[in-house]
Structure 1
Amino acid sequence: MCAAQDLDLYEVLGASPSDSVQQLRHRYQQLALQYHPDRLGGGSSETESAVRKFLEVDAAWKILGDQNSRRLYDLQRRAQELKQDRPVDSTVSLEDMTWDGGEGVFSHTCRCGGQFSISEEEVDEEVQRTRQDEEEERGVLVCCDTCSLSVLVSWSSGWTAQVLK
């Protein structure tokens, strides 16, 4: 995405994924004022450090301030989290999840009140990846957006074809 790819963009802004756009904007404005190059003096190493921090803050805001790029970032962030070993709480069938056509996302409510969400693109990618096993049941590990629980979202090849075509 950007040079700040290895950083958690929410941490850069001192925010959390549950913060609203207005809250993120407020954090960005505070940090931009604090680290803006025009507010700092000459070329000391402290100034260079502040400029680097300003660039990180600016890059984080450019991604998190836009609804589409924030959604993509959150999906990539969640995918990275999924690479970590987590216990699977249960298995949920894709057909038992709620479809949001506007967002292109399947979701299921977690017992904590959060959501397990998987995009149509993620399902489609997994279908393409496992296409050689036509009869095999497929699945993806999905984490809750508010707690540490994860579920295995599964579907059969026939049902996937009905949804995605």
Structure 2
Amino acid sequence: MCEAEKKDLYAVLGASPSDSAQQLKHRYQQLALQYHPDRLRGECSSEAESGVKKFLEIDAAWRILRDQSTRRQYDLQRRAQELKQDWPVDSTVYLEDMTWDQDECVYTHCCRCGGAFIISEEEVEEETQRRQQDDEEEETVEGQHRGVVICCDTCSLSVYVTWSLHRKTPASKCQE
């Protein structure tokens, strides 16, 4: 990701994602006037240099956010990055230690709130296959474990559920 994409472009403009294009333009114009290099000529060199950097940052943010399609693309990337953020994980649970529900074809683990952490055999298989495909591109370590973060169905706690890549599936009857 380039440097401009690492920063929150809305924050650079002092705006929010819900602002209209007109509001963004107004914020850009205000900041561009404030930090334009022509306005900073009388300043000492370090202040002028930081002002120019700020102006370039503002201009780069505006170039992306002013166009509807590039703004939409930026918003999608921003949202994807937010979804990748780590969840606070309460503990690690091994799939083998979870309770298998043959009727529902899911693994469950009780949460301290009384709720449950639930993962379906289908989700486990999909994640295992995805990880195995990723590992084909890299060297794998024999006996390597895989896992996912699962949220409680009642509270905000989450656990990391892990399992061996070479596990035996109890769900063969679910797939019939």
| Alignment-derived partner of residue 155 in structure 2 | none
For residues 84 and 2 of structure 1, the distance between their equivalents in structure 2, rounded to whole angstroms, comes to 19
Distance 2:3 2:86 in 1: 27
TM-score between both structures, scaled by the size of structure 1:
0.50
- Any conservation in 2 of the 1:36–1:50 contact (CA below 8 Å)? yes
Which secondary structure state, in structure 1, belongs to the residue aligned with residue 86 of structure 2? coil
**Alpha-carbon distance in structure 2 between the residues aligned to 1:86 and 1:26:** 36
| Aligned position for 1:56 | 57
C-alpha deviation, 1:2, in angstroms = 4.8
| Aligned position for 1:75 | 76
Name the structure 2 match of 1:65: 66
- Quote the residue 1:85 is aligned against: 86
Determine the structure 1 residue equivalent to 2:5: 5
The corresponding residue for 2:118 is none
- CA deviations on 1:59-114 (whole Å, 9 max, x unpaired) are 00000010000001001001100111359xxxxxxxxxxxxxxxxxxxxxxxxxxx
- Alignment partners' CA distance in 2, 1:27 and 1:2: 23
- Distance in 2, matches of 1:86 and 1:66, equals 33
Aligned-residue RMSD, C-alpha? 2.8
AA aligned to 1:80 is: Q
Normalising by structure 2, what TM-score? 0.47
* 1:63 aligned partner, one-letter code: I
Could you tell me which runs of 5 or more consecutive residues in structure 1 were left unpaired when the two chains were aligned: 88-128, 134-165
Structure number, greater radius of gyration: 2
Separation of aligned partners in 2, 1:55 and 1:29: 13
Mind listing any 5+ residue stretches in structure 2 that lack a counterpart? 89-128, 134-176
Matches of 1:60 and 1:2 in 2, distance apart? 12
Task: Could you list the structure 1 runs, at least 4 aligned residues long, displaced by more than 4 angstroms after superposition.
Answer: none
TM-fit CA distance, 1:5: 1.9
Deviations 1:138-160 (A, max 9, x none): xxxxxxxxxxxxxxxxxxxxxxx
Which stretch shifts more, 39-48 or 67-76? 39-48
CA separation of 1:14 and 1:4: change in aligned 2, threshold 3 A = same
Hey, what's the Cα distance between the residues in 2 that align with 1:2 and 1:24?
Answer: 22
Task: Report the Cα distance in structure 2 between the residues aligned to 1:7 and 1:16, rounded to whole angstroms.
Answer: 13
Partners in 1 of 2:68 and 2:34 — Cα distance? Answer: 25
> Per-residue deviation at 1:41?
1.2
Give the number of equivalent residue pairs: 94
Asked if 2 retains the 8 angstrom alpha-carbon contact of 1:35 and 1:53, the reply is: yes
Q: Percent sequence identity over matched residues?
A: 76
Shift of 1:7: 0.7
Match of 1:34 in 2: 34
What is the deviation of 1:46? Answer: 0.1
- Whether the 8 Å contact between 1:35 and 1:50 is mirrored in structure 2 is yes
Distance 2:24 2:12 in 1: 11
SS of the residue corresponding to residue 80 of structure 1 reads helix
Within-5 A mapping of 1:3-152: 3-41=3-41, 44-86=45-87
Q: Return the alpha-carbon distance in structure 1 between the equivalents of residues 33 and 47 of structure 2.
A: 16
